[in-house]
Structure 1
Amino acid sequence: MFASRLRWVLPALLSLAAATVGLAQPASAATAAGERYVALGDSYSSGVGAGSYLSDSGSCQRSSKAYPSLWAAANAPASFSFTACSGATTSTVKSGQLAPLTSSTTLVSVTAGGNDVGFANVMQTCVLQSEATCVNAVNNAITQVNNTLPGSLSSLYSAIRGKAPQAHVVVLGYPRFYRLSGSCIAGLSETERAAINRGSDALNAVLAKQAADAGFTYSSVVDEFTGHEICSGDAWLHSVSVPVSNSYHPTATGHSGGYLPAFRSAA
């Protein structure tokens, strides 16, 4: 009798399980479709270095291959506003990019902080001047990271929360730029490369703390870019390049293989 009952119970259970799985898939899709997503930040969010810049983005250089565009294309949110802009600081994100945020915004991404501490100038110094001057420039930037950047980030994050009180906010960090003892046979010295990595680590540490203090989610990209730094032999970052604005920015693969997974895992 048990065997006979099992013959009809098992198909019924399997049918129920299949129906349950089938119902779960549209629910997930519906959740993604309901997102109202706003992408804020600097060139690491706009997509400088990825190419395929949107015609209406001008000098902000927003790219269809940047991680916000890729996430929106894959998830078809209810709305998508892309205001990230090359050269943005915490102050200019606050003053010029927050208009799309509302009480109905559900998801926000942001990269900001590198330009506040003169990242581009530090890299230019390291490329053009002596090793000692480079290391000194990095150390000065780290001082700014620790002493003045926390207040600037706190102000920006408070403004984001004030305009989008219900949103899940993801703060993304910056890559570690160099593989030490890597494949590069020219360019910066190993001491300079190590100093630049140390600066990136200091910046990311402050971003993580300020994000946590604001109740936001911090997502590091260091793991995703490990093995794909400059001098790795498979870099997802431009080294010194033409146009010079691409230098030290992620390639299109850096966005699809690095930033997108980091954002997707935290969104």
Structure 2
Amino acid sequence: MNFQFFDTVSSTQDKARSLLASRACSPPFAVCASSQSLGRGTSSRLWYSPPGNLFLTVALRAAPLFESGVPVTLLPLKVGCVAAEAIRGLLPDEGERALKLKWPNDVLMDRKKVSGVLIEMEGDCLLIGVGVNVKTAPPVPDSGPNLGRSSTCVGDYTSLPDDCGEVVKKLGEDIAMSLGLWFDEKLPNEPGDVVKEFAEQVEFGVRIKMREGGWVVPIRIERDGQLLVRVEDTGEEKLLCSDYML
């Protein structure tokens, strides 16, 4: 895979788009940076992007996924699993035990966010964005449009060099190569494989706050990647299909 590393970009998603538009790169390729000036998360929420953290976009042809029989709704879950596995490689045993996944793609450590995912389409390509707090845990607003879960970073769990450039680059390469390999060789015919891999790393039965208010308790992940939850106030069970929870 063509892997390009930059000290800083406006956002790796936008950089990947410009490389596609200029035909400077063709999928599969990855754009990695250690800082962004205009980073964004899901629903255009601000993604704080200080130096020393990982900002990655992997550009892949969408056709292998669409032709595999795997519901596209499982892609965020798989990306979360890949990110979690790469982060584990940086952690001592106690850090590994603290790491969990939160549906549909966040990586948590002690229930604080250490990694998130943004997936967008550009023509016939998937732009899979992954951010990992390596050196710094950015401040996260507890109200307003950029409301989010408290953050942590890999550096809170293990010693890192003052200059994390090589650590960030290696982490980006590991995630990019794993996603590329999954698309090329390992897309399963059985969607349950992805659900099982993700569900094994989730804390079910733990109440989670909804973005619009109220609390839910995750019950299980359906075969198409939707999450069945129980609404705490009413006891009602309902399916979630996108990013509704903090």
TM-score, normalised with respect to structure 2? 0.29
Higher helix share: 1
Higher strand share: 2
TM-score, normalised with respect to structure 1? 0.28
In our comparison, the structure showing a higher alpha carbon Rg is 1
